[in-house]
Amino acid sequence: MPDDVHRVTIKEIARRCGVSPGAVSYALNNRPGVSEATRARVLQVAAELEWVPNRAARQLSAARSETLGLVLARSAQTLVEEPYFMGFVGGVESVLSECSYALALQVVADLDEELLTYRKWAAERRVDGVIVVDLRVGDPRIAVLRKLGMPAVLVGDPTLADGMPCVWTDATAAMNAALEHVASLGHRTVARVAGRPDFGDVWIRDRAFDLATHRLQLAARIHHTDYSAHEGAAATRAALAEHPRPTAIVYDNDLMAVAGLAVIQGQNLRVPEDVTVVAWDDSPLCSITRPTLTALSHNTVGYGAEVTRHLLNALTGAPPQPHLYSTPLLIIRESSATPPG
Amino acid sequence: MPDDVHRVTIKEIARRCGVSPGAVSYALNNRPGVSEATRARVLQVAAELEWVPNRAARQLSAARSETLGLVLARSAQTLVEEPYFMGFVGGVESVLSECSYALALQVVADLDEELLTYRKWAAERRVDGVIVVDLRVGDPRIAVLRKLGMPAVLVGDPTLADGMPCVWTDATAAMNAALEHVASLGHRTVARVAGRPDFGDVWIRDRAFDLATHRLQLAARIHHTDYSAHEGAAATRAALAEHPRPTAIVYDNDLMAVAGLAVIQGQNLRVPEDVTVVAWDDSPLCSITRPTLTALSHNTVGYGAEVTRHLLNALTGAPPQPHLYSTPLLIIRESSATPPG
DNA sequence: CTGATGAGCCGAACCGGTTAAGTAACGATG
DNA sequence: CATCGTTACTTAACCGGTTCGGCTCATCAG
């Protein structure tokens, strides 16, 4: 039998303090309207009774839910494969729990369902704001969120954000670093195993790749995938079948890089002697393969945390500026070497 | 400017239908008390106006939040590394979204914080029930949840659940399958690289490992770790340093198995010719290594879904029985072979 | 001494639903 | 025809906070 038959409310606190519930509310919320003496008494009694505000009641009257929303429009299976998301969510959580905000997490199949979720949340007043990930080129979510008046922070490049608040990492600089690294080792032919071309991040990286390879006078080719290990392996086979064969391959995530590594080695090619491999998203995977993988490292946990802080700031009325979180750092490991011959 | 200045409430629907708000509530909730004609009219008007129930209001009066809670007491970094959780969460989500329940996800540092979270949720009436993962031996959460009267489903073996509703996979049978596989190949010395010994799952597997190796007359040794790639690698080094050297190693998750694989190969030992490797949790990782890894495969997405359905059933009053979800299936891949000599 | 000012608190409305209790209309029953 | 039981609603209390208008009383200038 639960021992919480009698729930603690501000009415109870008011009774014990001999004041009205309204006064208690003022006291607990640190607002003017009560004397310091009364406030102290109220706070003490509230602490003694272990009072906790009822979220629903507060939300109903104050019209804020103290909840942020995050929709992931990917299959559950993709989420299993991508370590990226769990880290991001963990970072979001770490900030929210500090200020007793909650996270509403929804996993849906596609963008249309994601839009429905936003509409529902807006109607229900379910969340105070949302974090939008996997930004697309010409993203339809931007217009919907604007129309709904839903505060949002987009995770992605300002060129994709159409003026909405956003937090981004400098993928262009990162791509430059990777290609300059490869070029400086003497490679002349490189391949890029990219994610889905409709994803904004991929589009940005594609452009950066094109520009950098042109500038560095590298022969180059891009293979698009759905980010999965399976397609990463297939793209690697396609890349290795080209003439001239690329001597360096840059991947869009580390799962595909690891899958690609196995494909390369399976064709009796050596890494890094025959092929240099560079990964993106430096999860522990990159450190446990043989050879270990050169990777563009960024802190997904910190990224999630920073995005969340940015959204919370925006909710307090601060006009949000596009905010560069960081530039992925190139970590050079065993999979980098000069090309053969 | 948002176009939702005038929010749709049941009062508005009542006005348009010429009935009282109470009648509208009965109609919308499919309860007796209104005629079919009125119900139809109400439903039609509600649909036209795109009415969505206000969660806070409903929660406040009905005293249910239509939210389930899930606390993960692991570091954000661990969560990044373990594909397991994201799949589980995805499975939970897939069931919840179908019945418009929400998930409150909280990531905390340790069990004490987890207990605090439960207390807070109970006081706030934040969740209708919780899913408890990473069950421990003599788990302190069981007593707390009982005392709070918080409906819960434990993810783990009935022997650890102390009579609480639980959903489990048969780790003992899985361990038997793995060791019989290894023994039938002719191995006589095996090592087990296990997770944290205070975790119930690990304890169950430890016992199953001891019993099975004894029954099959295998020389055996267990190395405990914190599940991380780093300690998985260290444990592998320790195992390989023993005399006689084990010719087969069974890992508690696939991340450690992959890390161990690199260690083995780094000591110029061949997999599977010199050492057979068996992983647990068959994420895509096991299929992209060279060689591919034999693994105890289970569907984490389905597991999360099943656990959630079980909790939802329990909430409707059905007396919950311990429920066996499935037995992990041994998938034999390239990392299995007869021992050398 | 009087009236204005404002700090400190009370009472009540309100948020948007749910639900118990009450009521009017109506058909069935004795 | 009086009585009873249903059906189909209405009314109003309630959940637990927030917030606003108004009341009381001390303070202080005129």
Q: From the CB of residue A67, how many other CB atoms can be counted at a distance below 10 Å?
A: 22
pLDDT of residue B2: 38
At a 7 A CB cut-off, the residues bordering strand C are: A 14, 18-23, 32-38, 57, 60-61, 63; B 7-11, 21-22, 25-26, 28-29, 31, 33, 51, 53-54, 57-58, 60-62
A72-93 as b/e, with b when 16 or more CB fall inside 10 Å? bbbbbbbbbbbbbbbbbbbbbb
Residues of A in contact with B84 (CB under 8 A): 80
CA of B17 vs C1' of C28, distance in Å?
31
Residue A90 and residue B107: Cβ atoms within 8 Å? yes
Question: What residue has its CA nearest to the C1' of C9?
Answer: A23
At a 7 A CB cut-off, the residues bordering strand D are: A 7-11, 21-22, 25-26, 28-29, 31, 51-54, 57-58, 60-62; B 18-23, 26, 32-38, 57, 60-61, 63
Average pLDDT of every residue of chain A: 91
**A306 contact B CB<8A:** no
Nearest to B86 among A85, A91, A290 (CB): A85
**A104 contact B CB<8A:** yes
pTM of the model: 0.88
CA of A35 vs C1' of D19, distance in Å?
18
Residue A90 and residue B103: Cβ atoms within 8 Å? no
pLDDT of residue A320: 77
Structure-block tokens of residue B33? 């008390």
pLDDT of residue A4: 44
**β-pair partners for B277:** B249
How far does Cα A14 stand from its chain's mean position?
44
**A81 contact B CB<8A:** yes
**A233 contact B CB<8A:** yes
Distance, in angstroms, between B5 CA and closest chain A CA? Answer: 10
Between the alpha carbon of residue B44 and those of residues A53, B7, B10, the distances in Å are 37, 17, 13
Residue A108 and residue B87: Cβ atoms within 8 Å? no
Structure-block tokens of residue A78? 């993709």
3-state DSSP of A41-86: HHHHHHHHCCCCCCHHHHHHHHCCCCEEEEEEECCHHHHHHCHHHH
**B76 contact A CB<8A:** yes
Q: Hunting for tokens 């004041």 — which residue is that? A: A19
Tell which wins on pLDDT, B6 or A309: A309
**B66 contact A CB<8A:** no
Q: Where does the pLDDT of residue A324 fall: very low under 50, low under 70, confident under 90, or very high at 90 and above?
A: very high
pLDDT at residue A88 is higher than 70 = yes
How many CA atoms does the CB half-sphere of A159 hold within 13 Å?
13
CA of B23 vs C1' of D12, distance in Å?
14
B residues 318..337 contacting A (CB < 8 A):
none
Distance, in angstroms, between A143 CA and closest chain B CA? Answer: 12
- Nearest residue on chain B to A290, alpha-carbon basis: B262
Nearest to A91 among B7, B53, B76 (CB): B76
Residue B284 and residue A228: Cβ atoms within 8 Å? yes
The string of DSSP codes covering B27-55 is: HHTT-SSS-HHHHHHHHHHHHHTT----H
Structure-block tokens of residue B219? 């020389």
Distance, in angstroms, between B215 CA and closest chain A CA? Answer: 34
- Nearest residue on chain B to A55, alpha-carbon basis: B124
CA of A58 vs C1' of C12, distance in Å?
18
Residue B81 and residue A284: Cβ atoms within 8 Å? yes
> For the segment A104-163, what is each residue's pLDDT rounded down to a tens digit?
888 888 999 999 999 988 888 889 999 999 999 999 999 999 998 899 999 999 999 999
Residue A266 and residue B290: Cβ atoms within 8 Å? yes
Nucleotides of D under 7 A from a protein CB: 7-12, 14-21
Q: Where does the pLDDT of residue A317 fall: very low under 50, low under 70, confident under 90, or very high at 90 and above?
A: confident
pLDDT of residue B6: 64
pLDDT of residue A98: 85
Nucleotides of C under 7 A from a protein CB: 7-12, 14-21
Residue B288 and residue A82: Cβ atoms within 8 Å? no
**B124 contact A CB<8A:** yes
> For the segment A243-295, what is each residue's pLDDT rounded down to a tens digit?
999 999 999 999 999 999 999 999 999 999 999 999 998 888 899 898 999 99
pLDDT of residue B320: 77
**A241 contact B CB<8A:** no
pLDDT of residue B42: 94
pLDDT of residue A303: 95
Sign for the pseudo-dihedral over CA of A27, A28, A31, A37: positive
Q: Where are the alpha helices (DSSP H) in B137-293?
A: 140-148, 158-161, 171-184, 200-215, 229-240, 254-266, 285-288
Q: Which of B288, B301, B333 has the most A C-beta neighbours within 10 Å, making it the best mutation to test the interface with A? A: B288
Quote the CA–CA distance of A22 and B292 in Å, as a whole number. Answer: 66
Which of A324, A315, A322, A303 has its CA nearest to residue A68?
A315
Residue type, A136: R
**A3 contact B CB<8A:** yes
Nearest to B80 among A75, A87, A107 (CB): A87
**A287 contact B CB<8A:** yes
**A56 contact B CB<8A:** yes
Task: Give strand ranges (E) for B101-147.
Answer: 102-108, 129-132
Q: In what order do the strands lie in the sheet with A102-108?
A: A323-326, A166-169, A152-155, A129-132, A67-73, A102-108, B102-108, B67-73, B129-132, B152-155, B166-169, B323-326
pLDDT at residue A190 is higher than 60 = yes
CA of B34 vs C1' of C30, distance in Å?
30
**B73 contact A CB<8A:** no
Residue B94 and residue A80: Cβ atoms within 8 Å? no
**Of the candidate ranges A26-30, A162-166, A319-323, the one whose mean pLDDT is the lowest:** A319-323
Contact between B66 and B102 under an 8 Å Cβ cutoff? The reply is yes
CA of A61 vs C1' of C23, distance in Å?
32
Residue A83 and residue B87: Cβ atoms within 8 Å? no
pLDDT of residue A222: 98
pLDDT (tens, 9 = 90+) of chain B, 341 residues, equals 333 446 889 999 999 999 999 999 999 999 888 999 999 999 999 999 989 898 899 989 887 888 999 999 887 677 777 778 888 988 998 899 888 888 888 888 899 999 999 998 888 888 999 999 999 999 999 999 999 889 999 999 999 999 999 999 999 999 999 999 999 999 999 999 999 999 999 999 999 999 999 999 999 999 999 998 999 999 999 999 999 999 999 999 999 999 999 999 999 999 999 999 999 988 888 998 989 999 999 999 899 999 999 999 988 877 778 899 989 999 999 999 999 98
